[in-house]
């Protein structure tokens, strides 16, 4: 067999294809970086402060934000002026955080309608988890999954999507509960906002969960703790996020990486938010 001859034409075609491939690689979607406003210490009823916090986060390089529903619900009755103020900042309203308990007590449809009017994309819904050790019955898991799907349908019918937010229990016993939710719920109704910090705190493996469920994860909360109890700035705690960053790169995941300072008994930590942004840039490359 004669060796292949590289003519000028084949050389030019090959070069063009290589250039196009490199361009596609460079343009491939990358994760975006957002901020949970807990770190700023928001208070219910002070929407002016919320707007200011969103602007501060944007100025620090966070292009999206999440906040608890109680900090914006006072705007549901007249959302247009509030939406205009938020849109003017140019930051994506990623989602409003609530819980399964709150959803059971309140009008979730009304909450979704208010969120849509303000520009929010997701209802971020948490719970306490089925068991601290990650050992639970199939019946308990099924009941929770059925409830989440019902909430997910309400969200979908009202123009939003549900993203389940874990705490520590859901990642105990090798990610048992979170993976169980992933295995037994409809992807069209239930997504995940994985709290990677709580995942590590619970003894689990958020990177493994990313590898198995990347298409359903809309965002990742990033936080770390010292002695597994005291929240500290990213890069100063018991764990880093290099393994998660490798999983993000491997899967090509392009959801939201979200800094989450505060929200602990230690209170807010505004001073950590800027260096946290640099840590995310260094470790995740975004």
pLDDT per residue as tens digits for the range 144-176: 999 999 999 999 999 999 999 999 999 999 999
Q: Which of 156, 169, 159, 229 is nearest to 199 (CA)?
A: 169
Q: Which of 30, 72, 35, 33 is nearest to 51 (CA)?
A: 72
Whether 210 and 181 have beta carbons less than 8 Å apart is answered as no
Q: Which of 254, 249, 245 is nearest to 29 (CA)?
A: 254
Residue 270: pLDDT band by 50, 70, 90 thresholds?
confident
| SS3 state at 119 | coil
Full-model pTM: 0.88
Pinpoint the alpha helices (H) of the chain: 8-27, 47-59, 79-89, 100-105, 108-118, 138-157, 172-184, 196-201, 206-213, 242-251, 273-284
Query: Residue written as tokens 């975006």?
Result: 32
Residues with Cβ within 8 Å of 112's Cβ and at least 6 positions away in sequence, in order, are 123, 154, 155, 158, 159, 160
Residue 269: pLDDT band by 50, 70, 90 thresholds?
low
* pLDDT value of residue 19: 41
Whether 33 and 280 have beta carbons less than 8 Å apart is answered as yes
* pLDDT value of residue 29: 87
Alpha-carbon distance values, 16 to 7, 12, 22, 28, 205 (Å): 14, 6, 10, 18, 42
Lowest mean pLDDT among 81-95, 130-144, 199-213, 263-277: 263-277
CB atoms within 10 A of CB 203: 15
Average pLDDT estimate for 258-285 = 83
Residues with Cβ within 8 Å of 251's Cβ and at least 6 positions away in sequence, in order, are 210, 211, 214
Residue 11: pLDDT band by 50, 70, 90 thresholds?
very low
* pLDDT value of residue 271: 84
Ordered by where they begin, the domains of the chain are 29-284 (3.20.20.150)
* pLDDT value of residue 4: 43
**pLDDT of residue 265 exceeding 80:** no
Give pLDDT tens digits for 55-94: 999 999 999 999 999 999 999 999 999 999 999 999 999 9
Give pLDDT tens digits for 12-67: 434 443 343 333 334 468 999 999 999 899 999 999 999 999 999 999 999 999 99
Average pLDDT estimate for 96-114 = 97
Alpha-carbon distance values, 199 to 177, 179, 253, 279 (Å): 11, 12, 18, 19
Q: Kind and range of the H or E element at 258?
A: strand 256-259
Q: Which of 200, 217, 204 is nearest to 256 (CA)?
A: 217
Average pLDDT estimate for 255-282 = 83
Give pLDDT tens digits for 196-249: 999 999 999 999 999 999 999 999 999 999 999 999 999 999 999 999 999 999
Query: Residue written as tokens 């790169």?
Result: 249
Whether 176 and 212 have beta carbons less than 8 Å apart is answered as no
Whether 147 and 163 have beta carbons less than 8 Å apart is answered as no
Query: 125-155: buried (b, 16+ CB within 10 Å) or exposed (e) per residue?
Result: bbbebbbeebebeeeebeebbeebbebbebb
N- to C-terminal Cα distance for the chain?
49
* pLDDT value of residue 268: 56
Q: Is 19 exposed, middle or buried (0-12, 13-18, 19+ CB in 10 A)?
A: exposed
């Amino acid at each position: 067999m004669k060796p292949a001859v590289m003519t000028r034409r084949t050389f030019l075609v090959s070069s063009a294809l290589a250039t196009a491939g490199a361009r596609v690689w460079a343009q491939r979607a990358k994760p975006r970086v957002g901020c949970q406003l807990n770190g700023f210490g928001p208070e219910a009823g002070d929407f002016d402060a919320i707007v200011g916090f969103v602007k501060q986060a944007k100025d620090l390089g966070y292009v999206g934000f999440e906040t608890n529903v109680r900090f914006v619900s006072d705007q549901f009755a007249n959302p247009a002026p509030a939406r205009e103020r938020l849109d003017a900042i140019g930051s994506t309203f990623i989602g409003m955080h609530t819980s399964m308990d709150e959803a059971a007590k309140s009008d979730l449809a009304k909450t979704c309608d208010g969120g849509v009017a303000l520009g929010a994309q997701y209802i971020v819904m948490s719970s306490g988890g089925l068991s601290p050790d990650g050992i639970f019955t199939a019946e308990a898991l099924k009941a929770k999954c059925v409830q989440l799907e019902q909430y997910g349908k309400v969200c979908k019918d009202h123009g939003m999507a549900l993203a389940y937010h874990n705490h520590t229990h859901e990642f105990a016993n090798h990610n048992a509960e979170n993976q169980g939710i992933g295995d037994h719920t409809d992807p069209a109704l239930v997504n995940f906002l994985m709290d990677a910090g709580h995942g590590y705190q619970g003894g689990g493996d958020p990177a493994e969960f990313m590898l198995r469920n990347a298409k359903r994860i809309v965002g990742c909360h990033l936080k770390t703790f010292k002695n597994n109890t005291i929240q500290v700035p990213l890069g100063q705690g018991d764990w880093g996020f290099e393994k998660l960053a490798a999983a993000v790169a491997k899967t090509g995941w392009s959801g939201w990486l979200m800094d989450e300072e505060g929200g602990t008994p230690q209170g807010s930590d505004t001073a950590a938010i800027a260096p946290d942004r640099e840590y995310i840039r260094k470790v995740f490359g975004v």
